[in-house]
Amino acid sequence: MQSERLREEVEASVIKYDGVSFQMRVSLGVAAVRDDETSCERWFSRTDQALYRAKQGGRNRTEVDQPAVEKLA
């Protein structure tokens, strides 16, 4: 999954600024656009819910909207 690869790349990167080195971590929420969605609101909502699950699950992780995974399978 590309989103997980992105998360891993961010985590592995070392950023140097003003003589200080640090690493960043990200949490990502992912949801596929569904054919039956007539606006972006529901898609954004599902993506946002996945992001909150990632944060609640320990952060620095990727969560995918489960109905989207079932639909793609």
**For residue range 23-42, what is the model confidence (pLDDT) as tens digits?**
999 999 999 888 888 889 99
- Which residues are CB-contacts of 16 (< 8 A; sequence separation ≥ 6)? none
Helix/strand/coil for 20: strand
Helix (H) or strand (E) holding 18: none
* Structural domain boundaries enclosing 10: 2-72
When comparing pLDDT for 17 and 68, which is higher? 17
Domain count, the chain: 1
pLDDT digits (tens, 9 = 90+) for 42-65: 999 999 999 999 999 998 999 999
- Residue 67: the pLDDT is 65
What pTM was computed for the model?
Answer: 0.76
Task: Kindly report the CATH number assigned to the domain that includes residue 68.
Answer: 3.30.70.270
The rounded distance, in Å, linking the Cα atoms of 39 and 31 is: 14
Residue 2, number of CB atoms within 10 A of its CB: 8
